[in-house]
Each structure stands twice: as C-alpha cells, then as structure tokens.
Structure 1
C-alpha cells in the first residue's frame, strides 16, 4: 500500500473522529429522542388498552346491575364510565334512564340523561328522550329549548306536544304538520301525529295517494 494511501486513510479517520467530537452529542440526543418516542408510543398504546378494558368491565357491571334490577349498582358504573369512556357511558346511561323510568324514578332518569355528554350522532336521541321526560315533569320550556334546532319527525312531534301543553295550539299545529311532511304515508307514526294535529285543532295534509 502506498504511503499516500495510508495518509489518506489517516486523514479520513481523523475527519471521522473530528465529526464525532463535534456532532456526537447531537447524534446521541437524536437516538435518545427516537427511543423516547418509541417507548412513549408503546406506553400510550398500553395505557389506552388498559382504559378500554376498564371501561368494558364497568359497562358489564352496569349491564349486570340493570339485569338484576340493581339501579344503584348500574348508576355507580355509569358514573365511573362518564369519567373514562363517553361512548360506553352514553350507551349504558340510556339503558339506565329507561330502567329508572320503568321503576317510576322519572327525576332520576332526567338527571341521568342530563349527565351524559354524547357526540353529535347520539345527541338527538338523548335530547328526544330527555325532552319527553321534561314534558312529563311539566318543564315544557326546557324541552322546547332542547329541541329548538331539531327537524326530524319524532323531535317535531314531541315539540308539538310541549307547545300544546303550554296552550300554544297554533304553534303545536305547525310542529305536527312539519312532522307529517317528513313521514311516509304508510308510516305507523303518521297516524298518531295526525291524531295529535286534529286534537290541536288542525287538519292533516292530504297524502299523495289521497283522492
């Protein structure tokens, strides 16, 4: 091997050592950061899996409580779920509220539904059930506020119920009529809404198949 080649290799080695001296700390820091990210991600996944498992167990506790009529056990589980998993909490909360109504605990059912924090997909259903209970409790204004922006048939029907209960027959007629415009002619719900509209002093609109 030529002396020039040996000098080149020596020079290259010195350059490598020099680069490591100047950049070694940054390189080690980058490796450490990469390891921290990987370990953090693994910890987060494990933590999330643990929370999901805990939420599932709490949901099962709520279901078991409802199955044996132990509403206290179910409520404790739903309260715990509300702090850990909104979806499970909403699902179990709806079931708990239904059981509370059947047990004659209307006010407890109202409190249960009010405590839920549903997403946009489930909020209309919860608001509808809560509005019905509020009307039964004589809290018509609260029910109307809940359904203020709703435009589905069931919500419009219940809105009509609240308006009629407060003596606003004309507005109730309008709500029932709007509900009918969204219902199919053969819908079982249609006949009930038509009867409510007639009771409020209105006239059901003719369907497309009417002569």
Structure 2
C-alpha cells in the first residue's frame, strides 16, 4: 500500500474521530430520544388498551346492576364511567334511566339523563327520552327547548305532546302533521300520531296527501 494511501486513511480516520467528538453527544441524544418516543408510544397503547378493557368491564357491571334493579350500584358505575369513557358512560346512562323509569323513579331518570354529555350521534336519543320524561313531569317548556331543532318523527310527536299539554293546540297540530310527513304509510307509529292529531283538533291527511 502506498504511503499516500496510508495518509489518506489516517486523515479520514481523524476526520471521523473529530466528527464524533463534535457530534457524538447529539447522536447519542437523538438515539435516546428515538427510543424514548418508541417506548412511550408502546406504553400509551398498552395503557389505552387497559383503560378500554376496564371501561368495558364497568359498562357490563352497570348493565347488570340496571337489569337486576341494583340501581345504586348502576349509578355508581355510571359515575365512574364518566371519568373513564364518555361513550360507555352515555350508553350505560341510557340503560340506567330506563331501569329507573321502570322502577317508578322518574325524577331520578331525569337527573341521570341530564348528567350525560352525549356526542352528536347519541344526543337526539338522549334529548328525546329526556323530553318525554319532562312532559310526564309537567315541564313542557323544558321539553320544547330540547326538541326545538329536532325533525324526526318521534321527536316531532313528543314536541306535539308538549305543545298540546301547554295549551297550544294549533302548534301541536302542526307538529303532529309534520311528524306524519316523515312516516311511512305502513308505520305502526303513524296511526298513533293520527289519533293525537285528531285529538288536538286537526285532520289527519289522507294517505298519499301527506308529502
């Protein structure tokens, strides 16, 4: 090997050593940071999986409590779920409210539904069930506020119920009529809404004229 080649190799080695001296700490820090990110991500995934599993178990416990009429247990679990998983808390809360109604605890069911913070997909269901209970409790104005933007048949029917109970027969007729426009002719709900419309002093549209 020529002396010039040896000098070149020596020079290259010195350059590598110099680069490592200047950048070694940063290189090690970068590797350590990369490892920390990977380990942190793995820990987060495992922690989320653990939390999801715990929330699912608590949800099942809430359902069992509601089904077995252990409403205090179900209430405690729903409260716990509120801090763990919102969707599970909302679903369990709906089941708890149903069990409370069946047990004759209407006011407790109202409180349960009011405490929920449902997302957009569940909010119409929660509002409808709450509005029906508020109607039953004579709180018609509160029910109307909940249903102000609703346009599905069941919500329009509940809105008509609240308006009629509040002495606003004309507006109730409009709500029932609008509900009928969204119902299929063969729908079992249609006959009930027609009866309510007639009871409010309105005339149910003839089949085929409600579009």
Task: Please report the TM-score for the alignment, with normalisation by the length of structure 2.
Answer: 0.96
- SS state of the match for residue 205, structure 2? coil
Provide the rounded CA distance (Å) in 1 between the counterparts of 2:206 and 2:33.
71
Task: Please report the TM-score for the alignment, with normalisation by the length of structure 1.
Answer: 0.96
Deviation beyond 3 Å, 4+ runs, structure 1? none
* Paired residues, number: 210
Deviations, residues 43-83 of structure 1 (Å, cap 9, x unaligned): 11111111112112211221221232111111111111111
Deviations, residues 151-180 of structure 1 (Å, cap 9, x unaligned): 000000000100111011111111111100
Provide the rounded CA distance (Å) in 2 between the counterparts of 1:166 and 1:189.
23
Q: Which residue pairs with 2:73 in the alignment?
A: 73
- 1:28 deviates by 1.3
- 1:130 deviates by 0.3
Alignment of 1:188-199 (within 5 A): 188-199=188-199
Indicate whether 1:145 and 2:154 are aligned.
Answer: no
Please identify, of 51-60 and 103-112, the stretch whose mean Cα deviation from structure 2 is larger. Answer: 51-60
- SS state of the match for residue 207, structure 1? coil
Identify unmatched segments of 5+ residues in structure 1: none
When the two chains are superposed, the root-mean-square deviation of aligned CA atoms in Å is 1.3
Alignment of 1:123-134 (within 5 A): 123-134=123-134
Identify unmatched segments of 5+ residues in structure 2: none
Indicate whether 1:44 and 2:44 are aligned.
Answer: yes
Provide the rounded CA distance (Å) in 1 between the counterparts of 2:148 and 2:105.
26
Q: Which residue pairs with 2:135 in the alignment?
A: 135
- SS state of the match for residue 202, structure 1? coil
Indicate whether 1:6 and 2:6 are aligned.
Answer: yes
Please identify, of 51-60 and 97-106, the stretch whose mean Cα deviation from structure 2 is larger. Answer: 51-60
Is residue 106–residue 133 contact of structure 2 (8 Å, CA) maintained in 1?
yes
- SS state of the match for residue 83, structure 2? helix
Mark the CA change 1:167 to 1:209 in structure 2 (over 3 Å): closer, same or farther: closer
- 1:18 deviates by 1.2
Alignment of 1:167-182 (within 5 A): 167-182=167-182
Provide the rounded CA distance (Å) in 2 between the counterparts of 1:124 and 1:67.
24
Mark the CA change 1:52 to 1:152 in structure 2 (over 3 Å): closer, same or farther: same
- 1:5 deviates by 0.5
- 1:111 deviates by 0.6
Q: Which residue pairs with 1:119 in the alignment?
A: 119
